[in-house]
Amino acid sequence: MQPPRRRTFLALGLLLAGGGALSACTDSHDGDGGGRSEPRRPDPDEPVRLRAVAATDTLLAGYDALLAGPGAGQAALLQTLRAEVVRHRAALAGGSAGAPGSASPSAPSSSAAASSTPAPASSSTPAPASSSTPAAGSAVTTPAGLASLERQTAQSRLADLGAASPQLARLLASVSAAGVLHAVALGDPVPVSAPAPAAPPSAPPATAPGDASASPSGQPSGTAPATASPAGTGSAPAVGPEAVTALQGALGAEHAAVYGYGVVGARLPDDQQRTDARGALAAHQARRDSWQRLLGTVGATPSAAAAGYQLPFAVTDAAGATRLAAHLETRLTAVYADLVAAVPGPQRTAAADALRDCALRAHRWGATATPFPGLPDTATATPSPTATSTP
């Protein structure tokens, strides 16, 4: 017979072992979803996502109000645009990370989520004040009213660029550009412009030499001119190597666009299209100059234009010229979407402005609209103009 103290020790050992086994079983059970789950990691983008989703629900309420009443005559257009807004909502909510637009076009109720996803009061970035409740959307009674709501929402998206992670900022810029295109499709004639950052004293807005009579933007009627200075403050911005590489890429794309528009203008008749091409050329020259100045400000040597560029396809007539113009602008939307993600907050607005302007010009030249301008699509991309060794 074992001494009592020995028996007590063994009993405690069994209890401890049993408790450990029970704990192991419980942990395993929890891991299978039957009990407690591991605490959810906080999402630093959550406040931004909540605001973006609430604004999208307001838009959906506007589409629903119009479809249920006076907008029935434009049902096909409204349904198409609404389906894109549903895809925006899914991407902004984080349900389709890396694959925007994968959500089903059968939308949740247009006002269902706004009341359940208010912006946290403690957020460091204030929620945009304009049209952020479903009631504002439900009050829409005309296509013009919905166009105005799309435009206001598109502008408000950009208020959160600095607070968002790089990839979410890229998505916000794309969705904002899509909202502007929706407003145009709905007949909005009001100029669209995000609050422009202040230009540094040493970098006044640039104009294209010898082309003072051309439109400074080359935008479709009712759009804002390109922002010439991408710097957000009067001092040299802090830009890392990745941002410098992206800025050099944007500069290189603008060099190619300037070359391409020289070809476009030479193949167009002397009419409104040629005037639009001259305006677009001036806008791209201004963007090129602004990126050159910014790169110089951060101590980088701006890349020079190539001696010549190989066009992605032959351009022999006006139809080919308009196709090339649409291609140039579409390719630039992808460049600027990537730039939004690569640069720090103060430069994101300028990159988003450029994305929007290029999306609008691409639309003007007849490019096929996409729900996420500048973001990858499943379609095979046409190669962009390639630098060559000959003029």
pLDDT one-digit tens code per residue, 25-41:
344 444 455 556 667 67
Name all domains of the chain by residue range, CATH numbers in brackets.
46-96+129-185 (no CATH), 241-388 (1.20.1260.10)
Confidence band of 112 (pLDDT split at 50, 70, 90): very low
What pLDDT, in 10s, does the model give residues 247-290?
999 999 999 999 999 999 999 998 999 999 999 999 999 999 99
Under a CB-based contact definition with an 8 Å cutoff, are residues 247 and 239 in contact?
yes
pLDDT tens-digit series, residues 131-169: 456 777 788 889 999 999 999 999 999 999 999 999 999
CA distance to 179, 200, 228, 264, 279, per residue, from 366 (Å): 18, 36, 25, 14, 17
Mean pLDDT value across residues 104-128: 37
Convert the pLDDT of each residue in 208-232 to its tens digit: 333 333 333 334 333 334 444 454 4
- Rounded distance, CA 21 to CA 218, Å? 72
Beta carbons within 8 Å of 176's beta carbon, 6+ residues apart:
154, 155, 157, 158, 194, 352, 356
Q: What is the mean pLDDT of residues 340-365?
A: 95
pTM exceeds 0.85: no
Which residue from 197, 186, 117, 206 is spatially nearest to 146, judged by alpha carbons? Answer: 186
Using the predicted structure, report yes or no on whether residue 333 has a pLDDT greater than 60.
yes
The phi, psi pair for 269, rounded to 5°, reads -70, 160
